Amino acid sequence: METTPLRDLNATLQAQAEATNQTAWEIVNPKGSHAIAVGLDAEIEVTVKGSTGYYCGGMNKLATINVHGSVGPGVAENMMSGTVIIDGDASQYAGATGHGGTLIIKGNASSRCGISMKGIDIIVHGNVGHMSAFMAQSGNLVVCGDAGDALGDSIYEARLFVRGSVKSLGADCIEKEMRPEHVALLTDLLERGGCDAKPEEFKRYGSARQLYNFNIDNAY
């Protein structure tokens, strides 16, 4: 990244066709740059050797992106499919609005992790900050550590699994029973995320479905 302009880098990665032979790419000296490896649309593997700034791996489709460092705000924002793995910590709104794919954060994620998630699976080995899974619509958020204030505020159908403490639950978010299908789902998520935590150690949280828009009489 010290020698290659960001636009050239992203254009090269975005130009990789589905059947490309060159499937492994390495980005060195990222130096906290923004928007690294965004908008990828092929089954390639991209390794980033160092920490990045805003929006790394945004809008990802199919690609596997592994960051050997920490990431700034908005990692894997609006991801559609593929896998993004962060070895360090993630800043605010990791995986925001993600429609699909898997985001694995091996350190901690800060505030608003998984805000408005729409089908993405997010697995955090450490803690998440306040307002995580705010307005989460679908998908799964797994937190092996603790969650901050107002977890799952105004949540819809996403499932939240937290192993540690939850500082507080947001509006309309409640603890729910862990049925066998949830244990099976969580077992798979933990395996995909490379976590050695046991599913029985987690509690599940979701929507109480009591807010205004869950009442059919309020529908137009």
Partner 1 sequence: MCGIVGLFLKDSALEPRLGSMLTDMLITMTDRGPDSAGIAIYGTEDPAISKLTVQSDTPDQAFASLEADLSAELGSKVHMRHKDTHAVLHIPRGHLTAARTALAAINPDIRVMSSGDTVEIYKEVGLPKDVADRFDLRSMSGTHGIGHTRMATESMVTTMGAHPFNTGPDQCLVHNGSLSNHNRLRRKLQREGIHIETENDTEVGAAYLTWRMQKGATLGEALESSLNDLDGFFTFLVGTKDGFGVVRDPIACKPAVMAETDQYVAFGSEYRALVNLPGIEQARVWEPEPATVYFWSHANSSAPTEKAA
Q: Is 54 in the site for partner 1 (CB under 8 A)?
A: yes
Q: Is 127 in the site for partner 1 (CB under 8 A)?
A: no
Instruction: Choose which of 53, 57, 58, 101 interacts with partner 1 (CB under 8 A).
Output: 53
Q: Which is nearer to partner 1, 53 or 119 (CB)?
A: 53
Q: Which is nearer to partner 1, 55 or 161 (CB)?
A: 55
Query: Residues 6 or more apart from 184 whose CB is under 8 A from it?
Result: none
Instruction: Choose which of 16, 64, 78, 91 interacts with partner 1 (CB under 8 A).
Output: 91
Adjacency order of strands within the sheet including 83-86: 24-28, 45-49, 64-67, 83-86, 102-105, 118-124, 138-143, 159-162, 203-207, 173-176
Give the count of beta carbons closer than 10 Å to the beta carbon of residue 119.
18
Instruction: Choose which of 78, 97, 110, 140 interacts with partner 1 (CB under 8 A).
Output: 110
Distance of CA 164 to the CA centre of its chain: 18
Q: Is 70 in the site for partner 1 (CB under 8 A)?
A: yes
Provide, rounded to whole angstroms, the least separation between the CB of residue 65 and partner 1. Answer: 18
Q: Is 58 in the site for partner 1 (CB under 8 A)?
A: no
Binding residues vs partner 1 (CB under 8 A)? 31-33, 51-54, 70, 72-73, 88-89, 91-92, 110-111, 129-130
